[in-house]
Amino acid sequence: MILDKFIDTLNAEKGYSVHTCRAYRSDIFDFIQFVVARQDAKDNIAEKLFWEKMNTLDKTVIRNYLARLVKSGKKKRTIARKLSALKAFFDYLVKSGQIRVNPAETIPFPKLEKTIPQFLSIDDIVRLLDSIEIKTWFDRRNLAMFETFYSTGMRVSEMEGLNIEDIDFKSQMIKVFGKGSKERVVPVGKRALNAIKEYRASLKENFIPVFLNKNFTRISSRSIRRLLDKIVRDCQLNVPVSPHTLRHSFATHMLDCGADLRGIQEILGHASLSTTQIYTHVSMDRLMQVYDKAHPRS
């Protein structure tokens, strides 16, 4: 299938993660089923019917597809993601000589509203982390994992892929492989490092993955989320918390305490500074302190 070949290039040439490739495939196949008007059509049949209609495919068809997404109640961010997948797919077809022009090229993305990320207060972070018991190696793993989340602002996929040789305990740095297999080095605090040492000391072997499941293989992102859900329930925070919430909390608290925005960008692994700027919702107290100190007529 041409769709499979496209997905292979995303992985091999652009270094997209398995999760991103899966999302792209799902989004594009949803469009294919729309074009052939057969939601029950399987891969090979759907693609065959799709190619038969390729000569009639233009931006009007794509606009009709996007209109259906709007009508079905899809969020603007979801629609933008699906359009991005289509643009990339048709661009691949043009470059590989399958079609002459990209019918999605001139279609604008929906204007997205800027959302302020959800984050926990410092008190809530302390409450969450201090609630984790350290009776078993499972407990020690959980404490080490979530201390590291808050200490580094890593993504859950980055935490899942972390290997023991990526951690430099002496220089207090961690090598992280982020989106698109991009490598960066981030600082990590002593509290998190000590938690990792205590957890690893409770294991009988020196396993390569840092964080393990009950079968002593690499813990999955899904399991990490499930563990965090349980910890949040047990300490009765009564607010939705995900691994990304810890990442947002890390960035927000760093900025509130005076960290440089570009430094946060490097640590988080953002390609663009504009992505990091969503964290500039500093506390009003700090903003007033800066104003009082800097303004000549305050």
H helical segments located in 37-58:
43-52
Q: What is the pLDDT of residue 27?
A: 93
- Determine whether 264 is exposed, middle or buried from the number of CB atoms within 10 Å of its CB (0-12, 13-18, 19+): buried
Q: How far apart (Å, rounded) are the C-alpha atoms in residues 232 and 238?
A: 8
Q: How far apart (Å, rounded) are the C-alpha atoms in residues 105 and 121?
A: 43
CA quadruple 284, 288, 290, 295: dihedral positive or negative? Answer: positive
Which residues are identified as catalytic?
Answer: 155, 179, 244, 247, 270, 279
Phi, psi of 31 (to 5 degrees): -65, -40
> Which residue would you say has higher pLDDT here, 213 or 110?
213
Assess contact for 267 and 149: CB atoms under 8 A: no
**pLDDT of 262 higher than 90:** no
Could you give the strand order of the β-sheet that contains 167-168, starting from the edge strand earlier in sequence? 167-168, 173-177, 183-187
Percent of the chain at pLDDT > 70 equals: 87
Domains, the chain: 2-95 (1.10.150), 122-291 (1.10.443.10)
Segment 68-79, tens digit of pLDDT? 999 999 999 899
Query: Minimum mean pLDDT among 32-46, 81-95, 160-174, 280-294: which range?
Result: 280-294
Q: H-helix or E-strand containing 215?
A: none
Whats the size of the chain, residue-wise? Answer: 298
